[in-house]
Structure 1
Amino acid sequence: MTKNKTIETDEDVVEFIHSFANNEEKRRDSFELLKLMKDCSGYEPKICGPSIIGFGNYHYKYESGHEGDAPLIGFSPRKAAISMYVFTGLAEHTHLLKDLGKFKRGKACIYVRKLSDIDQAVLKTLIKETIDFLKSKYGNNCCQGSST
């Protein structure tokens, strides 16, 4: 069985950003995202696995039997782009991406080169809708962890 790569650690978030973000713009964007995601979610940031800053968490279990814990939302200031885990990936939620701005999309991940490429008001709506969806889907298995 594969090991879950999103387990919370005790690593310091600020130190992580300073050491992981590869340029000053990415560091500034990371600190801005830190504040935005904390404000939107109400959760304190935690390092999840080797490189994700997550907010809140939920326990999932797939029909295959695979289960684990993941942050409700999060991001990683990777070299090529900032990976944001703020989207469910479901077709019925794609309308939330319409006015977001310049980004690339994975299955359930949004990639931006810089934060100024996207509309932060739209990002906040996307974050809130994603959190609401996860809370409704996972109920009691959702949102354990440190809330502010």
Structure 2
Amino acid sequence: MAENKTQATGASVDEFLAAVEDSVRHRDGLRLLALMREITGKEPEMWGPTIVGFGRYHYKYESGREGDAAAVGFSPRKASLSLYGLMYGPEAAELLPRLGKHKTGAGCLYVNRLEDVDQAVLAELIKAGYRHVTTALHSP
């Protein structure tokens, strides 16, 4: 069975964020780093070459495929900030309409700039997503 291609790498989160060229993405990446660290109580780690993740959970599909993934995380991509794990909690359906300017797709939440969203709602989405995958699902 194929391995999950997005795995923890041991690469430096600080070096990754320092290399983000766009000043807004860099600033927002540092803000997300602090916010997710505070909410999860976990230290960040790189997942693949571009995802900063916090905490872990173990998944297993009916097909037999299984692995570990970051509980929540982000990537300061050129097109937008990609936020991972924030849409899994049951509270997400109620919180997303209050978030502000965003897009969703394939389990990800996309934000152009952190100033476009309500910071309190974003924090609640992070808390709910993290809580869901680390308590409702099995965590290592």
Question: Unmatched 5+ residue regions in structure 1?
Answer: none
Amino acid at match of 2:114: L
1:89-133 CA-to-partner distances (Å, cap 9, x unmatched) read 577631121210000101311101111111111011111111221
Partner of 2:46: 47
Partner of 1:94: 93
Partner of 2:132: 133
1:30-72 CA-to-partner distances (Å, cap 9, x unmatched) read 0000000000110000001121000000110011111111001
Aligned-residue RMSD, C-alpha: 1.6
Matched, 1:6 2:16: no
Question: Unmatched 5+ residue regions in structure 2?
Answer: none
Residue 8 of structure 1: SS of its match in structure 2?
coil
Does the 8 Å contact 1:30/1:77 carry over to 2? yes
Partner of 1:23: 22
Report deviation, 1:10: 1.7
Q: Distance in 2 between matches of 1:16 and 1:22?
A: 10
Q: Distance in 2 between matches of 1:118 and 1:88?
A: 15
Amino acid at match of 2:64: G
Partner of 1:106: 105
Amino acid at match of 1:100: L
Does the 8 Å contact 1:5/1:48 carry over to 2? no
Moved over 3 A (4+): 88-93
1:61-84 CA-to-partner distances (Å, cap 9, x unmatched) read 011111111001000011111100
Residue 99 of structure 2: SS of its match in structure 1?
coil
Amino acid at match of 1:17: L
Partner of 1:57: 56
Percent same amino acid among aligned pairs?
46
